[in-house]
Structures are given as C-alpha cells and as structure tokens.
Structure 1
C-alpha cells in the first residue's frame, strides 16, 4: 500500500514493516512503540512541530538506510501514522473513545509500556513550550505521573526509578497513563486553538490528597505508601 493516501491508517502488516525499517536504521533509532508515544506527546503539545523537527529524533544519531527508496518508504509510513494518531486523539476527545496505543508484549505476553512512556517524554522534550506547569507540579493527581513511573522504571539511576510494579499495579498504571493522555490533550486544547503556549495556573476543584489519606487508586493503602511512593525523583 505504498501509494495509499497519507490519511489512511497503517494496516498491521505495514506497522510490522515500519517496525522492521526502524530496527534497520541503527541502534539509536526509536522503536515503533516509542514513535507512537512520541507522536501522541507532540500532538498534545500546544505548539506544532514540523516533520523536520521530529524526524531526526526518530532516526537517532548515526542512522543509515540502504537506499533512497527505504528512506522514502519509512518517511511515508511515519507520516501516515502521524495522521492516524492525530485522528485517534481527536476521536478520543469528540466521542470519548479511548486511545489505543501501539504497545508490544514481552516474551511472557505482558504489556510493559516502558517504550511508549519514554517516547512520550521524548515528545515533551522536543516541544517543551507550555509543559512546565505539569512537569513541575507536585499534585499527586498530576496526569504525567504514570508516564514517569513507566519511563523511569528501568532507569540506570536507582533514584529515578519508582517502586517495583506488580502485574496488577502495572495494569492500573497503564490505564492511568491512557486516562492521563486524554487529560493532557484536553488541557492543552485551548492553547492549540490559539497558538499560545501559556495558560492560567491550574486550580483544583477537589481537595488535594494528603500523604496519609487513602490513595485515590482504590488500593486501600495510604497515598504515601502507594502511588505517592511511585513518583520518581526529578533532577
């Protein structure tokens, strides 16, 4: 389907083809899962980033492709996936249809989500304008918390890692990340409409969860012993 319109989502075999092309580019290129999270963050951001701004980050340093045809194919597939992610985010907002991330299973059939979360944070780094308020917030219900938990889960710096995540907790964190994606997308919608990457400070409509209060995730544990303990240290 190399001549398919750029608005046509990738079929499963085309996603596999793009995944293989990314793997051939070099050790520093993103995985398909990272690309999906990366595009989601860029499309949530208040400022539009042109392909010339995000393509180099996907390729990584020292990339190479065997031919111009491969480069054209990979770029075309990426553009189609960009448009598909954009359409899915709009559908999520308009019809309350949950976003379906492109995530891969490990050898045991478990969805980890680490690459997707790392791709999302890479997107924030590529288009940082307007994100400071969320990144600097100590609100225990900050929608970026599950992204950070998964992105830093295997970080070489132990102080950046969250507490160990059980299979049940991982399922909850993955769900919270998708809910957080919708919250972030809606949060920045006024800025995308106006092109102004600033807004009034967030004002909570509900009381802030105290560290000794029951955790809002429903685990029955105190917040400081549950999701509060899972918030990674920022440097």
Structure 2
C-alpha cells in the first residue's frame, strides 16, 4: 500500500471528540503491542512537527507505520483490511494537520492530549504516554535532535519530555523514583505545554 505524505496545505479538518475516540479504539484493538494510543499518537505527531526535519519533506512510509507498530509482510497487517488501514491513515493525517495549524497560528487553542486522574478534589496529570510518543519522533531524527538537547535553553525545555518519555533502562534511579510519585509526575507533566509552545516559537 502506498503511503501519503503530509501536506501542510491540505484542508483544515480537526478531528471531533468522537473521531479521536474512534481512532484510539481502532489502534487499541490492533494485535501489535507497539501500536500507539491516542495520547502517544498526539505526542508523536507533535514531535514530528517540531523536528529539525520538516515533516512535509518526509515520505509517509518513514513515519506512518510507527503509529501502529510497523507493517507486516503482507502490507495490511496488523489491520484486518486495507480499508481500515486507510481510514486510520486519513484520521492521522487530519490530526497532524490540525496540530500543525494550532502550533503555528493558534497556540492559545492548542492543548495536548494527556491522561488525567482524579485525586480527591484535585486532578493529577500524567503525560507519560504523550512523552513516549514524542520521544519516538525524536528517535527518527536522533542526530538532528541531539544539538537541541545539548543547547542550554532548548535542552531545558525538552528535559521534562525526556524524563517522562525516555527509556527507563537508561534513566537515573533518582529520576525513576521521581516518576513513581504521582504528584511529582503531575508537576513535570504540567511543565510540558509551555515548553512545547516555546519550542514552537511562542515562548
């Protein structure tokens, strides 16, 4: 199956809540353990849009299969049909187009998709899945991202994303202990929206 590339001039058709829920449901029912949920997908697409490598210049085959954990030999699996696969791709492309529009031109309306849990009278925000998705996008252009992580200003902005979305086997035990505390994870998660907007040039 041929993969469409991202076209930043395509129609701006943001997904409604029902479509986001349907996309999450389709991805969650795939047999691949590496398929993203809607939070990871939102972070992944945001990372692609902020990448030093323009997304529009990348072939769809370079980044779309990551969404569902990669293709199998027949080019259809893990989907049950080519129609289902095309539906997912079209929804993903519409969502990345909407994110691009918001991050570029309507930053006050952009809001990442994070998990939120009730804790008594308070909400605890958990951006871990979102950050895992973002870091998967980083991995696709690791050498280009490295200079940003090494930059004092941009590195500080990326730090909470890397902490929440990094490989646990490579993390400092002190950082892992911090992430095990819901209140500390909440505090880190709440830093991310402003950091992303700053990385997008709105800081």
Give TM class, smaller chain: 0.7 to 0.9
Instruction: Structure 1: state its 5+ residue gaps.
Output: 188-235
Q: Which has the higher contact order (CA 8 A, sep 6+)?
A: 2
Contact 2:178–2:184 at 8 Å: present in 1 too? no
C-alpha distance in structure 2 between counterparts of 1:72 and 1:41, whole Å: 22
CA deviations on 1:57-101 (whole Å, 9 max, x unpaired) are 112145511112211111111111010111111135xxx516300
Which has more radius of gyration? 1
- Whichever structure has more helix as a proportion of its residues is 2
Aligned to 2:49: 43
CA distance in 1 between partners of 2:148 and 2:96 (Å): 24
Counterpart of 1:110 in 2: which secondary structure?
Answer: strand
Matches of 1:107 and 1:50, distance apart in 2: 41
Q: Distance in 2 between matches of 1:169 and 1:67?
A: 43
Match of 1:20 in 2: 25
Is the Cα contact below 8 Å between 1:28 and 1:60 reproduced in 2?
Answer: yes
What SS does the aligned partner of 2:115 have?
Answer: coil
Cα offset, 1:151, TM superposition: 1.4
| Superposed CA RMSD | 2.8
* TM-score, with length taken from structure 2: 0.75
Number of paired residues? 179
* DSSP 3-state at the match of 1:142: helix
Pick from 24, 30, 35 the counterpart of residue 29 of structure 1: 35
Matches within 5 A, 1:74-223: 74-92=88-106, 96-97=107-108, 99-106=110-117, 110-128=124-142, 130-137=144-151, 142-152=156-166, 155-156=168-169, 159=172, 162=175, 163-165=177-179, 166-186=181-201
